Structure 1
Amino acid sequence: MTIVKDTEALTATVVAEAQRRQEPDWLIEQRAAALQEQSYAGFLRVQRFNYRDWDLFATPTLSWAEAPADPAETGSPRFVQRGTTRLQASLPAELRAQGVVLTDILTAAREYPDLVRPHLMQVVRASENRLASYHQAYLNAGLFLYVPENVRIEDPVTVQFIQDATTGEPLQVHVLVVAAANSQVAVTQHLTSQGDQPATVNQVVEVVAQDGSQVKFASVDELGPQIQASYQRRAAVGRNARVDWAIGLMNQGNTVGQCDTDLIGDGAQSDAKVIAITSRQQRVGINTKVTNHGKHTTGNILQRGVLKGQSELIFNGIGDIIHGASGAEAEQENRILMMDPGTHGDANPILLIDENDVLAGHAASVGQVDQQELYYLMSRGLDKPTAERLVIRGFLSAVLSAIPAVNVRQQLAQTIERNLQND
């Protein structure tokens, strides 16, 4: 396909800036190819949800910040980035000695190309949709975490990304986690914003879980009302490996996204747990998908959402068992609670099964708050807002209690309580 002049000019600008930053040739080539892909790529499909009128593709200024000195060797594993500036990257000396790598994504592309290049934008490909191609072309923040074979990181790797909404610059933040065979790691991400300028966040998370590894990825997304967010988070799971997701969608602005798990190797497993709370005029559309490729693979999805105000929330739970995935299991539960009459919620279970010897099931419900529950609580002396908060806590407790990481449970519970009190 012929590149239009605007695309040619953008490509020249991106290439020149990337060269100035001394990015490797292979990454520059990926950026240029992604800009071409963007001119004809389709939109990420979220059933029963239309977001095409959102302004998600503003062109960044490309004024990316340089990373500071090498990561500290003290404290627990931790990474903090505000906008495009890395503020902290700490890694204990004993983990560094074992070959663990924790640094920002652009530094990793230069210094660890043999580890980064085979995986960067290979789990989520730029050609898949316009959000992915835009992300690869303008990637300007994020981290790379590598855990070598047989290495187990006991403490969670805590990660914080802050969208600097004082400038309104778009943030394309990328997380690449590579867990080599029989390794183990837990990553806890907190995605926030500071400032009141309208801005966007486009996040891609790629998890490569090689044979026998275990990865737990938790994220509490808490972006402000002026931020429009999109995300694509996906794991490629090898033989007898496991990847678990725990996602708390507490953004106050419009959000669209997809969390995928590809169970590639035989015996691969995954649990995906999602909580969402929407309010005011907010619109949120989410796909949570597990694809069973290997034999005797197991994928579970558990989603619960609460709607307030005039908001909209769409949950699509997708279980896809491909031909040849004999002995696979796919279970999902999607439930939505509407607290106010002006809300709109959909919980859509989707099962795509192309194999006979499988076990698959789903449950879905969308309903309003039980007035008898509210009446009972209010008859005990509670005012209506307090009674509603208790009902919501009880509704979400099924997901919260199923999250194994105590620190994630506590952080998510605190965030939920804060959002409910501020609503």
Structure 2
Amino acid sequence: MQRFDFRDWQLTPPTIKIIKTKLPKAENFVLMDIFEAMNEYPDLIKQYFMNKVIKFDENKLTAYHTAYLNQGILLYVPKNIVVEKPIEVELNQDSTQPFVSHILIIAEENSQFSFIQRMKTKGDGKSVANCVVEVVALPNSEVKYAAVDELGKNVTSYLSRRAFVDDNAYVDWSIGLMNEGDTVADFDTDLVGEGAHSEIKVVDITTGDQQEGVNTRVTNYGKHSIGNINQRGVIADKSKLIFNGIGHIIKGASGANAEQQNRVLMMSSDAHGDANPILLIDENDVLAGHAASVGQVDQNQLYYLMSRGLDQKTAQRLVIRGFLGDVLVSIPSKPIRQELIQTIERKLADGQNKTTDQR
């Protein structure tokens, strides 16, 4: 077999390694470094890498990503394979250099699995991150993707996660945005096949002077396709968070369903939040709806908890945890779910302390 040279793609050699991978005992799927995959599975890489889901020349950010990629993995699950235990991967950034990572997930027909990704930063250096995830879900496959992002305070991040969902395939996104620095995130799902289905759940907490923009889009191309968006954000201190939820039903996608919720909870009068639901409907025989809200912690709920002996800060965190509960309970791995809850508690406590100090 002719070996594939990554230099044909104008990529740099990998400088950051996957530091932790937990795999169930199985030899019926492929999980490997993206650069090694370019040599071992050149046809697969050429067919799907920055080609089917996201185009390498789509914009300046994707072009930069392709040119300076320095870390990534390929996950390939063949036809009719069901992986019982979640596949877990942790990616660590060295803050002394840019973090440009790529995860390519290919689910063949009738395959089923869960994939869990962590991202963290080591060090306090000022840096940038450009991270892309591509998911290809072929007919009748099922992919459950969960992520906990914890990039550093001095890291400016661009995160793009996108899925191509074929006939009767299902992609479930559960994403915890716990970054400390400024972030722009694009979460896109193309429901191309008939009966394609996707659920997208996002939790985001901003503190300090963070600025974050999250664009979550589902496009219904296929007939009887279903796309649901549920975004929950908590804003503390002087931070800013914008949620854009976009549901687009293309002409010809009869019987499609597009629903979304975008809700933001304010912990500070100095914070700024927007929840913008957008529906673009080009077909008549469809179901579509949206809900959006921006507000403060419910004072009645807070009073009830404090009347039972809890201090104000603890009561406030419990109310917020309930507000975020829809996403938290959907994460397939209990350890990851607990880790995300602990991270949320830490960020909320930091935000409460800073608010108290400012007073």
- The bucket for the TM-score relative to the shorter chain is over 0.9
Distance 2:330 2:84 in 1: 20
- Does residue 317 in structure 1 map to residue 249 in structure 2? no
Distance 1:63 1:210 in 2: 30
* Distance change >3 Å, CA 343–CA 113, structure 1 → 2: same
Q: Secondary structure at the match of 1:117?
A: helix
Alpha-carbon shift at residue 407 of structure 1 (Å): 4.2
Distance 1:350 1:336 in 2: 16
Q: Which residue of 88, 110, 113 corresponds with 1:158?
A: 88
Residues 196-217 of structure 1, C-alpha deviations (whole Å, 9 max, x = no match): 1111111100001111100011
Conservation of the 8 A alpha-carbon contact between 2:22 and 2:88:
no
- Does residue 111 in structure 1 map to residue 47 in structure 2? no
Which residue in 2 is equivalent to 1:24? 4
Distance 2:332 2:40 in 1: 35
Conservation of the 8 A alpha-carbon contact between 2:20 and 2:90:
no
- Does residue 137 in structure 1 map to residue 67 in structure 2? yes
**Unaligned residue ranges in structure 1 (runs of 5+):** 1-21, 33-61, 66-83
Distance 1:246 1:86 in 2: 21
Q: Describe how 1:140-289 pairs up with structure 2 within 5 A.
A: 140-165=70-95, 168-289=96-217
* Distance change >3 Å, CA 365–CA 146, structure 1 → 2: same
The amino acid that maps onto 1:116 is I
Which residue in 1 is equivalent to 2:354? none
Alpha-carbon shift at residue 373 of structure 1 (Å): 3.1
Distance 1:297 1:312 in 2: 33
User: Structure 2 length as normaliser, TM-score?
Assistant: 0.92
Residues 276-333 of structure 1, C-alpha deviations (whole Å, 9 max, x = no match): 0111100010011111011110000001000000000000111010011011000001
Q: Secondary structure at the match of 1:116?
A: helix
Residues 355-411 of structure 1, C-alpha deviations (whole Å, 9 max, x = no match): 111000000001122233333433443322212211211211233234455444333
Alpha-carbon shift at residue 23 of structure 1 (Å): 8.3
Distance 1:176 1:184 in 2: 16
Distance 1:273 1:404 in 2: 13
The amino acid that maps onto 1:311 is S
Q: Describe how 1:348-359 pairs up with structure 2 within 5 A.
A: 348-359=276-287
Distance 1:160 1:402 in 2: 20
Residues 76-98 of structure 1, C-alpha deviations (whole Å, 9 max, x = no match): xxxxxxxx1244556556x22x3
Conservation of the 8 A alpha-carbon contact between 1:295 and 1:326:
yes
Alpha-carbon shift at residue 419 of structure 1 (Å): 2.2
Q: Secondary structure at the match of 2:57?
A: helix
Distance 1:392 1:86 in 2: 33
Which residue in 2 is equivalent to 1:85? 17
- Does residue 329 in structure 1 map to residue 257 in structure 2? yes
Conservation of the 8 A alpha-carbon contact between 1:89 and 1:102:
no
The amino acid that maps onto 2:17 is T
Which residue in 1 is equivalent to 2:343? 415
Conservation of the 8 A alpha-carbon contact between 1:279 and 1:307:
yes
Distance 1:164 1:23 in 2: 30
* Matched residue count: 349
Distance 1:363 1:228 in 2: 30
**Unaligned residue ranges in structure 2 (runs of 5+):** 352-359
The amino acid that maps onto 1:157 is I
The amino acid that maps onto 2:291 is A
Which residue in 2 is equivalent to 1:342? 270
Q: Secondary structure at the match of 1:127?
A: coil
Distance 1:284 1:231 in 2: 11
Conservation of the 8 A alpha-carbon contact between 1:89 and 1:103:
no
Distance 1:177 1:320 in 2: 24
Distance 1:142 1:390 in 2: 37
User: Considering only aligned residues, what root-mean-square deviation do their CA atoms show, in Å?
Assistant: 1.9
Distance 1:286 1:156 in 2: 26
Q: Which residue of 286, 295, 300 corresponds with 1:372?
A: 300
Distance 2:345 2:22 in 1: 30
Q: Secondary structure at the match of 2:343?
A: helix
Which residue in 1 is equivalent to 2:235? 307
The amino acid that maps onto 1:332 is Q
User: Structure 1 length as normaliser, TM-score?
Assistant: 0.79
Alpha-carbon shift at residue 28 of structure 1 (Å): 3.3
| Structure with the largest fraction of strand | 2
Distance 2:93 2:63 in 1: 20
